[in-house]
Amino acid sequence: MDNNTKPKFEMNVPVLALRGLVVFPDTVIQFDVGRRKSVNAIHQALESNRMILLLCQRNVNDEDPGADGLYEYGTVARIRQIISDTDDGVKIQVNGLYRAQVQNINQLNPYITASITPCSTVDYTPTNKEIAIIRSTVGLFEEFSEHVKSAPSEFIQNIQDKDCGSVADYIASNSNLPYPKKQEILEELKPFKRIELLQNMLLDELAILKVEAEIIRKAQENMDENQREYILREQMRVIANELGDSDSPIEEADELKSAIESRNLPEEAKKKLLKECDKLKKMPYGSHEASVIRMYIDTCLDLPWDSKSDDTINLAKARKILDRDHYGLDKVKEKFIEILAVRKLSDNASGQIICLVGPPGVGKTSIGRSIAEATGRKYARVSLGGIQDEADIMGHRRTYVGSMPGRIMAAVKQAGVSNPLILLDEIDKLGQSFHGDPSSSLLEILDREQNKTFYDHYIDLPFDLSDVLFITTANDASQIPGPLFDRMDVIELGSYTHEEKFHIAREHLIPKQMELNGIRKSQLKVNPKALHKLIDEYTKEAGVRNLERQISTLCRKTAIRIVDNEDFDKLTVTTDNLEELLGPAKYVKTEQNKDDEIGLVNGLAWTSVGGELLPIEVAVMPGTGKIQLTGSLGDVMKESASAALTCVRTMAEQEGIDPEFYSKFDIHIHAPEGAIPKDGPSAGVAMATAVYSALTKKPIRHDVAMTGEITLQGRVLPIGGLKEKSMAAYKNGIKTVLIPNDNVPDLAEVDAVVKENIKFIPMKKVYTAWENAIVN
List residues with catalytic annotation: 682, 725
As to burial, measured by CB atoms within 10 angstroms (0-12 exposed, 13-18 middle, 19+ buried), residue 367 is buried
Evaluate whether 363 touches 329 at the Cβ level (below 8 Å).
Answer: yes
Q: Name residues whose C-beta falls within 8 Å of residue 614's C-beta, 6 or more positions apart in sequence.
A: 602, 603, 604, 605, 671, 678, 683, 686
Q: What Cα–Cα distance (Å) separates residue 411 from each residue in 297, 381, 414?
A: 18, 7, 5
Residues making up the chain, counted from first to last: 776
Helical pair 528-537 and 545-564, crossing angle rounded to 10 deg = 130
Q: Which of 620, 572, 627 is nearest to 598 (CA)?
A: 620
Contact 654, 697 (CB under 8 A): no
- Of 212, 188, 193, 210, which Cα lies nearest the Cα of 140? 210
Instruction: Report yes or no: 284 and 243 within 8 Å, Cβ to Cβ.
Output: no
Torsion of CA 69, 71, 75, 78, to 10 degrees: 10
Q: Which uninterrupted H or E stretch holds 441?
A: helix 438-445
d(CA 458, CA 665): 69
Strands 716-717 and 709-710, bridge-based pairing: antiparallel
Residues 703 and 664 sit within 8 Å (Cβ to Cβ) = no
Q: Which helix (H) or strand (E) holds 528?
A: helix 528-537
Coil vs helix vs strand at 102? strand
Cite the beta strand spans of 451-507 per DSSP E: 454-455, 462-463, 469-474, 489-492
Kindly calculate the radius of gyration of the chain based on its CA atoms and give it in whole angstroms: 53
Phi, psi of 664 (to 5 degrees): -100, -20
Collapse the DSSP code of 131 into the 3-class scheme (helix H, G, I; strand E, B; otherwise coil) and give the result.
helix
CA 480, chain centre distance (Å): 30
State the Cα–Cα distance between residues 514 and 555, nearest whole angstrom.
6
Q: Judge whether 706 and 659 are in contact, CB under 8 Å.
A: no
- 32 in the Ramachandran plot: left (φ > 0), alpha (ψ -120 to 50) or beta? beta
| Cβ contact 305:278 at 8 Å | no
